[in-house]
Structure 1
Amino acid sequence: MMSIGLHCRIVGLPARTAGLLRFLDYMEQFRDEIWVCTREAIALHWHAHHAPPRSAKL
């Protein structure tokens, strides 16, 4: 998993925006092999596929 923070005060600078665009263009090559998603989507996926059984004690 790779997390990229996109805070406006950081990535909003012209040089950094250009770098982000180059990175997104690079990722496009792997469109069928990667999943670009939000933290919420990861959490929902994990819960749906790896949640403990309801009988598990916390």
Structure 2
Amino acid sequence: MAVLSNEEQKMVKGGQAAAYSCSCSDGSAVWTGTYSGDGRASDRAAYWCGSGGGSCIREN
């Protein structure tokens, strides 16, 4: 599995990628991810946390 650098991510997404700190509401998971925006970060939190929900806060 290849991991894209931040510069490569910007080219693929066509914009500025940002780091987010995310966590599940029930405390089952905490992670840092690089997403193209708030909506994408929220979508990923919903996906990974399931019915318990979760949230992400932009770091920069």
TM over 0.5: no
Question: Which protein has the bigger strand share?
Answer: 2
Larger Rg: 1
Question: Which protein has the bigger helix share?
Answer: 1
Bigger relative contact order, structure 1 or 2 (CA pairs below 8 A, ≥6 apart): 2
TM-score of the two chains, using structure 1 as the length reference: 0.30
